[in-house]
Amino acid sequence: MTGCLWLFWKELVRFGKVSFQTVLAPIITSLLYLLVFSHVLEGRVDVYEGVTYTAFLVPGLIMMSVIQNGFANSSSSLVQSKITGNLVFVQITPITYIEFFFAYVAASMVRALMVGSGVLLAALLFVDLSVYSVLIIFLFALIGSAILGALGIVAALWADKYDQLAAFQNFVIMPLSFLSGVFYSIHSLPEFWQSLSRINPFFYLIDGFRFGFFGESDVPIRISLGVCLAALIVLSLVTLSLLRSGYKLRT
Amino acid sequence: MSKCPAVTIENVHKSFGPVRALRGLDFTIQRGEFFGLLGPNGAGKSTLINALAGLVRPDSGKLAVMGYDVESEYRDARKRLGVVPQELVYDPFFQVRETLRFQAGYFGLGREVEPWIDELLDALDLMDKVDVNMRALSGGMKRRVLIGQALVHKPPVVILDEPTAGVDVELRRQLWSLVKRLHGDGHTIVLTTHYLEEAEELCDRIAILDHGGLVALDTKADLLARGISKTLHIHTSERARNLPPALADKIKRITEDYIELSFSLSEDSVMEVLDTIRDAGVHVIDIRVEEDDLEDVFVQLTRDARQ
């Protein structure tokens, strides 16, 4: 195995050692959302024709857990290694900045997909879900988890203390994921809020992902896919450029 | 490349804002040397080590490990360098063996490294701790794991940045025994330490840094023989009086039956001093010559550099 694969494997083992916190807890949280919101709002919110609110909610909750856990994995691991100083043991090895990027992003993707799959499997106990395109479901899950894995690296590089990372998570990731159409179709919002939703990149992740289940979406799937791929490419280039320059890692 | 030095440092400058951490350092460390890097706090030792490890980028100059440039050929350079950091840093998620196994993996090493990891664990007296989480280890044990991590890829050059800081006497003895063994096996060892007696005991050649500059670079013997001073303790039968002014100036302390004087190694002779005392009519009962140790040389050189 190469250094990159070992770093990837180390990251998997790391979150595996605290899997109650990193995998099981987010699944339970999503299920609680599902139980509460579906019970309260079923029949009260208009979504797609022929789709129950509970079924509509499930893909949104899955993608929200993919987003939050993709971000949490790379950001928490990296910021911890950076602040405690043990990142030095990776920095003094022949691992390149590109390998470093792939190892952290890939590990984030694995965790995000594990949590997402867990939410899906658990939700299937309560609701019947149609599948329009497995390919699109996978594609958006992969792109979403990769975007957030890369964003987690950027946030961890930027943060000098845990508090700053928590601020990034609470003031950027959480609002963007909650206001991205997880719980509603943006067509049910006033015009202003619809427009605002369209500049939220997480909206396109959720809308595209939901299209994979129902074959229906708020914006055309080509646009969602294009926006998400562009976001992935731009964010990856930014992250690679920060890593290459040694931003806050090498003085 | 076959005869290149183990470490090449060529006119290296580094500033952190207004602070000039390294000022044109320029020297080499030969293969197989046991090299001491000494200096007071803030002298630039850690900056130099971090620059060699690729954690600090010099503003100018060149650094190479076994002939490989640490920037343009960093992969090759890093494969040949092991660094034991000064701080007790560790990943709290992992156990001792996992820590070493992952570290070897980062260097692309496969199963072939596992016998060497066992050997290291044994040499570091960690065999009964292999499955213990890093968090649960004592400071001394964590330090041993750090050394293991630095050695896990069998680097020809090993840098130890104050490895015995805060380590008890017994462990310090064990560590030096291991480091001596590594040196005996052909590794180039670069050591920074605050314990000057360690450098005096172990190192072949010593560089003294201060304020980012090189104050001295010499073999240990030559550094000690720089003729700074010796102290002569003389027990006499009575108080020495009427000593000539040239000798009286050198006296540090004088009592009824004792004279302590310092004199220059290059300018004075013990025999001449004794003859002068005898000529003053004083009977010499016993003498003891105390030479400066590395600490005195170190203090003198860094003080001179500041002046």
Give the global pTM: 0.85
d(CA A211, CA A183): 15
pLDDT at B228: 58
Q: Which residue has the higher pLDDT, B235 or A72?
A: A72
What 3-state DSSP class applies to A131? Answer: coil
Cβ atoms B179, B201 nearer than 8 A: no
Q: Got the DSSP string for B204-259?
A: SEEEEEETTEEEEEEEHHHHHTS---EEEEEEESS---S--HHHHTTEEEE-SSEE
Is A17 a member of any domain?
Answer: no
What residues in A contact B158, CB-CB < 8 Å? none
Which among B79, B89, B103 has CB closest to A84? B89
Q: Is residue A115 part of a domain?
A: yes
- A94 within a domain of the structure (yes/no): yes
Smallest Cβ distance to A81: which of B79, B83, B91?
B91
- pLDDT tens by residue, A54-68: 888 899 999 999 999
Residue at A13 is within a domain = no
A38: in domain: yes
Q: Between chains, do A250 and B91 touch, taking CB under 8 Å as contact?
A: no
Give, for B103, the enclosing helix (H) or strand (E).
helix B96-106
Q: Which residues of chain B neighbour A9 with C-beta distances below 8 Å? A: 102, 105
What local confidence, expressed as pLDDT, does residue B294 receive? 67
Q: For chains A and B, count residue pairs whose Cβ atoms are closer than 8 Å.
A: 81
Contact at CB, B79 and A94, closer than 8 angstroms:
yes
User: Would residue A15 count as lying in a domain?
Assistant: no
**Across the interface, do A13 and B55 touch by the CB < 8 Å criterion?**
no
Q: How much of chain B is helix, strand and coil, in % rounded to 5?
A: 35, 30, 35
Q: Which domain holds residue A181?
A: 3-8+22-245
Structurally, chain A folds into a number of domains equal to 1
Q: Chain B contact for A91, CB < 8 A?
A: yes
Please name which of B34, B36, B9 lies closest in space to residue B22, comparing C-alpha atoms: B9
- Please indicate whether, in this complex, the C-beta atoms of B93 and A14 are within 8 angstroms of each other: yes
Chain B positions contacting chain A at CB under 8 Å are 16, 50, 53-57, 74-76, 78-79, 81, 83, 85, 87, 89-94, 98, 102-103, 105-108, 110, 149
Mean pLDDT, residues B119-135: 90
Do residue B90 and residue A88 have CB atoms under 8 angstroms apart? Answer: no
Q: Does pLDDT of B227 surpass 60?
A: no
Question: Does the distance separating the beta carbons of A89 and B79 come in below 8 Å?
Answer: no
Tens-place pLDDT, residues B260-294: 887 766 667 777 778 888 887 788 888 887 766 66
Yes or no, beta carbons of B105 and A246 under 8 Å apart: no
- Closest A-chain CA to B17: A251
Residue B169 is predicted with a pLDDT of 80
Q: What is the pLDDT of residues A163-179, one digit of tens each?
A: 999 999 899 998 888 88
Query: Least CA distance to A18: which residue of chain B?
Result: B93
Q: Which has the closest alpha carbon to A232: A70, A75, A110, A6?
A: A70
Summarised one tens digit per residue, pLDDT across range A22-42 is 999 999 999 998 888 887 777
Lowest-confidence pick of A207-211, B116-120, B193-197: B193-197
Q: Which residues in chain B touch residue A86, judged by CB atoms under 8 angstroms apart?
A: 89-91
As a whole number, the mean pLDDT across chain A is: 91
Contact B27, B207 (CB under 8 A): yes
Of A72-76, A195-199, B26-30, B79-83, which range is least confident?
A195-199
The H or E element spanning position B190 is: strand B188-192
Whose tokens are 């000057």? That residue is: B196
Answer whether residue B211 shows pLDDT above 80: yes
Q: What pLDDT is stored for residue B292 in this prediction?
A: 66
CB atoms within 10 A of CB A195: 11
Interchain CB distance below 8 Å, B75 and A94:
yes
CA angle B282/B287/B290 to nearest 5° reads: 135
pLDDT value for B265: 62
pLDDT at B167 over 90: no
A250 within some domain? no
**pLDDT tens profile A120-144:** 999 998 888 888 999 999 999 999 9
ipTM above 0.85, yes or no: yes
Taking the mean position of all CA atoms in its chain, how far away is CA A3?
26
For A23, residues 6+ apart whose C-beta sits below 8 A from its C-beta are: A15, A111, A114, A115, A118
Check pLDDT > 90 for residue A239.
yes
Q: Which domains does chain B have, with CATH numbers?
A: 7-221 (3.40.50.300), 230-291 (3.30.70)
Share of chain B above pLDDT 90, in %: 40
In a domain, A162, yes or no: yes
Interface of A with B in 155-174 (CB under 8 A): none
Interface with chain A: mutation pick from B79, B89, B102, B106, highest number of A CBs within 10 Å: B106
Residues 6+ positions from B44 with CB-CB distance below 8 Å? B21, B22, B23, B25, B209, B211, B212, B213
Q: Does A17 touch chain B (CB under 8 A)?
A: yes
